[in-house]
Each structure stands twice: as structure tokens, then as C-alpha cells.
Structure 1
Amino acid sequence: MTAPEETIISVDPDSQRRLRERGLDYRIADMAVDADAEGFLRADSRGFLDEDPTDAELAQARETMRARRNIGVYDPAAGTWPIATVNSWVTPLTLPGGEVDMWAISSVTVAGTHRRRGIARDLLEGELRAAARAGAPVAGLTASEATIYGRYGFGPAVPVMRFTLDTARAGWAGGEASAGRLVYADKQTLADDLERLHEASRSHRSGQIAGWRGRWQRMAGLAAGDKEAAAVRGVRFIDADGAVQGAMAYTLAELPGGFRSEMRIRSIITASDEALRAIWRFVVQHDLVTTARVDLRPLDDPLPWLVADQRAVTAEVHDHGWLRVLDIEAALGARTYSAPLDIVLRVEDPLGFAAGDWRIRIDESGRCRIAATSASPDVTLGVVELSTIYAGGVSASQLAAAGRVHGDGDALSALSRAFLTAPAVLLGIWY
């Protein structure tokens, strides 16, 4: 499914009716219409507590939004800007053994003047119904607040790591430099490298999605309105054959009292272990830097094993990529699995998309067959929990220990073995 196709899917009629009954207009915001585009983008910035965008920022954001299905909720008594926003597009989601079309949801805002009126529920449920109509087996989002999206069936499926590194203490223990070389890159080259490397490497880890040009421009300090743009620097790793295998965007912020700085890493993307080691060595051994910070790293990132003192590395795991299974047969059939399985799964879904009793058979090759069944369930779980384990980054046994998945112990262990994947899941961008 290509971007133009989902942009013409009509608004959800159920949400439209409910919002109309409250005197609100729920409609597509057309990025080809100046008033629609400006109102949507200014409302979006307001919703995320950003400063009002400049004309240059509006023009740049508008280019990104043209490829999306942008919806506003308008209150005739509140002016011409929407009082709530959401947008969506279809993107490939990497899974073990392949990928699936995912309905990506972003720009979810409700004005502070219109909170607690059920508007967010109409937006989110409307998006799920639109995704199901479009044939997307899965929906996904990244969340600024972690307590909102479970009520719509989303689960925190892609955990990531946030590192804080005490470089003065760490010491390099990752061996000698490779045959390749690390060089500085100008901002345009950096944006190009990040874009190409992400696309080349995103199929290597479950949980990744395709990026877009505006994302890499922002990482490289080319986005209009970026207050840190002048401080953005970039390096690229070139291997012995002359191929660029890694890139990093970062800034340096001077710390008070001592001519030392903190490195704030915006993005690291590598296509080889050699490139990742070279970039981490650059970080650990950078002159006049005492601290480095980076987010959105995989849980199996080798950084703690590349330094002499692992206590110099503070690692914080947090939720990042949220998924929502809509079509259970298409979703589970789109990936491969790590072990054979033959169980009956009962899925409870208050919104009805994935609810039912399902016989899941996974053969020795890791391929899955799934069908509705009347047999008694071996394991019972909610759609939130199914969505959480779907990409292979969270164990069903861990959720069972938390009282969120129920069933026979052997069946739970088998379910965990089948769904877990290596390398660790990752979502390296926000959307």
C-alpha cells in the first residue's frame, strides 16, 4: 500500500457521527489547502507544547505531511484551527523473517480547552477502524504518555535502552581500531548517510519502520527552527572497501567550570559491528568530553562490553514502540518464529478486532498457521498482551509472572520460546 492510497481513505463514520452530535466537525485537513495545512500544523505544535512554528518550519513540515492522512476536529466556536489532530500512513514494519504493513499513527493532540470530552477516544478508535478497512493487520505509534494507549489495545512491544556514559571513568576495552576510518561529515552528507543506512539496516531487527526525509534532516541539524542546528556535528565510518557503514549525529554542550563538555547523541545507525565499535570508541575517547548520552539503542547494544569499567555505563530500559494487532491471522502469519508451537490462544479484545479462540500451529521452519477454533484455550490473554509479545521483544512468561497472561505452564513456556527473537528488537526513531 503506498502513501497516496491511505491519504484518501475517508474519515471513520462512527467517530464522525459521535463528534457531530457534540457540535464538532471531524474531517480531513488537506495539505494542499493553505488554511488547512497551517491550522493543522499550528494546532499540532500547540498540542505538543512546542513554540508556534515559523513560516519556514510550516513549509518543511507540510512537505512531510503531504504523504499522510491528516485529520482535524474543529469546533466552530473555537476559531479556525482544529482543537484535536491525528495523522496516519502505512509503513512496513520489520518482523522476524519479513515485514507487514503497519498503520502508523502520529500527531495525536487534543487542545487543553477541550480535554475529557471523549475526543481522543473518537480519534484513536476511528484510526483503528480506518486501518482495519484499509487492510492493515497492525497499527503502531510512539507515545509521549505511557498510560493512554493500552485502553485502545496497544502494547509496549519494542523496549529500548537509554545510555548515560561517564567517559572519564569508562576506559576503552574494545580492542584496536579496525581497517576502516572515521571521518567528519557535513550536515547534508550526514542526513543522506543516516537515511541510507537506516533503510539498509532496518530489516535486521524486528520493530523498525521506514523513515522519511524530514526525520533525517532533523537529526542532521537541517530542520527549520532547530535551536541546536549550529551545534550538530556528524561522523561517518568508511570500511576498508570504501563503503559507508555507519554514521552518528551529535551535539556538544559545555559544562560549567572546567572546559569540559557533554556529548548528546541524536542518532547512531550502523550496518556492521565494525562500524558500531569504531563509533563507540570515538565517543569513549573523545577529548574534553566527560559524559555522553544517547537514547533509542537496542537492549543488546555492546557498549557495556566495550569499556573497561561497566559501572561507568548507566542503562535505562524504557518503552518506545507500541503495537496493536488488528487482524490476528494476517499479523501472526507475517512473521517467523523461533520454535515449534501448537496451542489454542484465547484473545480478549474489547474493540473486537482480534477477539476469539485461535489454534496456532508453528512448524519446524518457523512458519505459522492460524485458524479460529472451538477448542478449549491453553493460554488466555488480552489484545494488549498479544500486541506486546508480537514483535518478539517481550516474553509471554514475563507477562504471565505479572498476572497479565494466564494458562498452562508448559504452554506459556512454549509460547515464549516461539515468539522471542534475536537480535533484540529496535525502533530507532520517533514518529
Structure 2
Amino acid sequence: MTTELRVLRPAEWAQWFEQLELAFGGLPENPQRREVWEAITEHERSIGLWDGERCVGTAGAFSFRMCVPGGALVPAAGVTMVSVAATHRRRSLLTSMMRRQLDDVRSWGESVALLTASEPGIYGRYGYGIATQQLRAAIDTARVRLAVPPGTDGVVVRQVAPPEALATIEGLYARLVPTRPGMLERRPEWERLTVIDPPEERDGGSPLQCVLAERDGEAVGYALYTIKPAWDDAGPKGTVAVRDLGALDPAADGALWRFLCGIDLTSTVEVGNRPVDDAWQHMVSDIRRCRPQLRDSLHVRLVDVGAALEARTYQAPVDVVLEVEDDFCPWNAGRWRLTGDAKGAVCVRTDEAADLALTVRELGAAYLGGVSPAALAAAGRVRELRAGALGEAAVAFGSPVAPWLPHGF
């Protein structure tokens, strides 16, 4: 078999995307969403595998900026739309695309690559580590009481048609991005995905609804949600499904959660992707009746170890030599001396004795501050070579707020 791996040509997009659809089960994408995906595809950053005239593999990379600890927005490659045709599996084609893609990311000067995985077991061998988790829950609002923060009564919640609120939502989202590691600055056209609401995907639920939280006439938060009515012999038991929620301060957050948990004829509020430290968990009277669950979310890969570690800050002073193993991107392998604090960092090559030994996968997992090097060491994935170095790194690499990816790509 001879295949050709090349940059995607605009005229080939439809066939390229159809291969992706086929690889994910063969169901065609909703036309509205498909239109947006075509508009935001960066052809020069996308590649396809071709067997003759047939596309048999796909991969792309969005040009994002991601918040890292300290609040800086770092250029990052958002790896997306990865597939290999079922007829061409187990021929190292995925590896060839990952090899080409990471070489490209390095040439673009981007020190970090990101992805969300349909199957989380795939990407560790290419150096990606699971850096964030998402919290899921089903809050039993018939039995759970909510204690909201002071000032909540000063926030008004107003119903707005989602398309009319879109500019306000995007403005609020942009203000939130620098406050939490893992959040992505949205590029033009991305906001359209926020309010796409095909009737065939509602599964008995209502059209998408929106409320804005306002204080003195100024928007300070928003929530997008649907309602799925249900009844039994005891009465109504509808479900509020929260699609997105953002708030600039605790009172705005409290007002939105109080509204969602108090909608008439409902008894459950479902959330599918929230930060693991989301504040509502400390407002509810009974966390067990909220059935919290965790799932992997953002996978992070350091493409340039030195540049990536210099791009973030550290919550405690750190001076540590890292022995990094990276078979897939050998330019990262070797010893790096990281010195830094809350004001900045420097990470350079060194011949000094190593303090910690780990692979680039562990660095990716710890990069946003949500996974402790100490936890990785307990799993045998980080080795302490200097007494005390692990504890120093565990504190320094942490983040005051949990990293979070608010939406997929």
C-alpha cells in the first residue's frame, strides 16, 4: 500500500470531512454545525492521508491561545478531527500523522499541543498527558437546598433569546479566559457553535434557552440550558440540562445556580462539563444527592519543554533540574533546569545532576496545575532523585483554581 500524506487543499475539505464522519460512525453532521466546521478549519494546519483518490486519514490543528498558570495566554495547537479509515488501521498511519503534526507545531513556534480524546488510551504514546478533568453531576433539586453567597439578591436574572445574547456571552467569556488555566481564547466564528440548536438533537427537550445575570444593568453572568419535561403519578419531574454557564463573581454565580435549581416543574439539574472545583458544590446541602462524576478532558503535550515551562508562573519558588524522556520528540530529551516563582520562570538546558526524572507525558499532565507531580510519583511515573525536590515541585506546579476546558474542539 502506498499512501500520500499532505496538507489539506480547500477543494478537498468535503471529502476529508466525510472520512472523519465515517470514522466516527457514519452519521452526517448537522448542516449548520458542518458549515461552521468548514469555516473554522485552518487548511494550512490540516493534513490528510490519501490512498489514490480516497481520503483515508485526517488531522487538523486549530491555532488557539490557552490560559496557563499566571494568566498568560500561550499559543497552542488544538489537535482535532483525527481519524484513520477502518480499512487502513494497524499500518502506523496514525503515528505518521502525529509525527508530521508535531514537527509542524514545532516549526510554527507553538510550544504546546492540546487535544480531547475519543479514546483516552491512544495519545499517551505520543506524549500527551491528561491535564484537566470535567465534573458531571445530576443535582436532585427536590431534596437539595442551596445556600447562595452574600450579594446574590442584588443580581437580577433576565431571560434572553440565545442569538440576541451571543455578543454579551462572548464578552463575558473573554473576561473569564485569563482567570482559569486551560480556558481557550475563542477565535472568530467559534461563537456560532454556542447557540446551534437542531431540533433533531433535542431528545424531547426544549429549544435552547438563555438567561443573563445583571447587576445595575450590567451583565455579570450567563447560562445556556434546555428543559426536558417529564411527569409521573407523583407529579412533574422535569430536567434542566445546563449547556454552559459563566459568572464574573460569586454573587452572579449564586444567582444563576439559584435560578436553574428553582425552575418550575423540574426536579433535576444536569451538568455535563464543569470545573472540578466549581462553587455550586459548596452551596448544596447534600453533595451525595448531586451524584458527582469525573471524566478526563484536556490532554496536553509539551512540544518545546523549555519554552512551555517558561510561559507559565509557579505558585512557590522552584529551582529544580528535570531529566526528561521524550522518544517521540527527541529534541526535548535531556536535562532542563527550571527556576521560577509567581513573577516568571526560566528553563534552560543543563549538565547539572537531575532532581526529578519523568517523561514528557507527565510534564503535560502537570503543566496546568491540576495534576500534582507527587500524585504521579505515587503511581511510579515520576522519580525523585534529590530528597525534597518532589515536594518543592508539587507545590510550585499547583494552581489556586483547577484548570478547565469549557468546550471541546
TM-score normalised by the chain length of structure 2: 0.92
Counterpart of 1:123 in structure 2 is 97
Distance 1:256 1:148, change over 3 A: farther
1:206-217 correspondence runs (5 A): 206-212=181-187, 214-217=189-192
Q: Is the 8 A contact 2:7 2:44 kept in 1?
A: no
Aligned partner of residue 210 in structure 1, secondary structure: coil
Equivalences, count: 402
Query: Which of 376, 380, 401 does residue 378 from structure 2 map onto?
Result: 401
Distance in 2 (CA, whole Å) between partners of 1:46 and 1:194 is 34
Q: Do structure 1's residue 344 and structure 2's residue 317 form an aligned pair? A: no
For residues 258-316 of structure 1, the C-alpha deviation after alignment (integer angstroms, 9 at most, x for no partner) is: 43211111111222222211111112222111112112211211112212223222222
**Structure 1: gaps (5+ residues):** 1-21
- Counterpart secondary structure, 1:96: coil
| Residue 162 of structure 2 is aligned to residue 187 of structure 1 | yes
| Structure 2 unaligned residues grouped into runs of 5+ | none
Moved more, 365-374 or 95-104: 365-374
Give the equivalent residue in structure 1 for 2:306.
Answer: 329
The 5 A counterparts of 1:271-350 are 271-350=248-327
Q: How does 1:6-405 map to 2 (within 5 A)?
A: 22-31=1-10, 33=11, 36-49=12-25, 51-53=27-29, 57-66=33-42, 69-76=45-52, 80=54, 82-97=55-70, 98-174=72-148, 177-212=152-187, 214-222=189-197, 226-227=201-202, 231-240=207-216, 242-255=217-230, 257=232, 258-351=235-328, 352-363=330-341, 365-405=342-382
Task: Give yes or no for contact 1:53–1:225 (8 Å, CA) kept in 2.
Answer: no
Q: Give the AA of the match of 1:132.
A: R
CA distance in 2, matches of 1:222, 1:213: 19
Equivalent-residue separation in structure 1 for 2:346 and 2:14 (angstroms) = 47
Query: Is the 8 Å Cα contact of residues 56 and 224 (structure 1) preserved in structure 2?
Result: no
Whether contact under 8 Å (1:190, 1:249) holds in the other structure is no
Alignment partner of 1:353: what SS? helix
* 1:38–1:58 contact (8 Å) kept in structure 2: no
- Whether the 8 Å contact between 2:337 and 2:348 is mirrored in structure 1 is yes
Shift of 1:198: 1.7
Deviations 1:313-372 (A, max 9, x none): 222222111111111111111111111112211011112132111122225x54222221
* Equivalent residues of 1:340, 1:366 under 8 A apart: no
Q: What amino acid is aligned across from residue 157 of structure 1 in structure 2?
A: A
Q: Distance in 2 between matches of 1:175 and 1:339?
A: 30
Query: Residue 413 in 1 paired to residue 387 in 2?
Result: no
CA contact (8 A) 1:92 1:102 kept: yes
The 8 Å contact of residues 187 and 221 in structure 1, kept in 2 or not, is answered as no
**SS of the residue 2:178 aligns to:** helix
Query: Is the contact between residue 335 and residue 349 of structure 2 (CA under 8 Å) also seen in structure 1?
Result: yes
Mapped to 1, the partners of 2:153 and 2:39 lie a distance apart of 40
Distance change (3 Å), C-alpha of 1:73 and 1:61: same
Compute the displacement of 1:56 (Å): 5.1
CA distance in 1, matches of 2:223, 2:159: 10
- 1:315 and 1:164 mapped to 2: Cα distance? 7
Using the TM superposition, give the Cα deviation of residue 224 of structure 1 relative to its aligned residue in structure 2, in angstroms.
9.5
- Return the letter of the residue paired with 1:354: N
Measured against aligned partners, the alpha-carbon deviations of 1:213-248 in whole angstroms (never above 9, x if no partner) come to 5543333235697556962111111112x2211111
The CA distance in 2 between the partners of 1:74 and 1:202, in whole Å, is 38
Tell me: CA distance 1:68–1:105, structure 2 relative to 1, closer, same or farther (3 Å).
farther
| TM-score between the two structures when normalised by the length of structure 1 | 0.87
Asked if 2 retains the 8 angstrom alpha-carbon contact of 1:304 and 1:310, the reply is yes
How much has 1:63 moved relative to structure 2?
1.2
Q: Shift of residue 201 of structure 1?
A: 0.8
SS in 2 for 1:191: helix
Cα distance in 2 between the residues matched to 1:211 and 1:224: 26
Q: Secondary structure at the match of 1:237?
A: strand
Query: Which residue identity does 1:25 align to in structure 2?
Result: E
Secondary structure, aligned partner of 1:102: strand
Q: CA RMSD in A?
A: 2.2
In structure 2, the residue matched to 1:428 is 406
Evaluate the alpha carbon distance shift between residue 112 and residue 361 of structure 1 in structure 2; reply closer, same or farther with a 3 A threshold. same
Indicate if the aligned counterparts of 1:260 and 1:289 stay in contact, CA closer than 8 A.
yes
Amino acid paired to 2:46 = N
Write the deviation string for residues 64-86 of structure 1: whole angstroms up to 9, x where unpaired.
Answer: 2257622221122xx54x21111
Distance 2:304 2:192 in 1: 34
Q: Is the 8 A contact 1:201 1:271 kept in 2?
A: yes
Tell me, yes or no, if the aligned pair for 1:195 and 1:213 is still in contact at 8 Å.
Answer: no
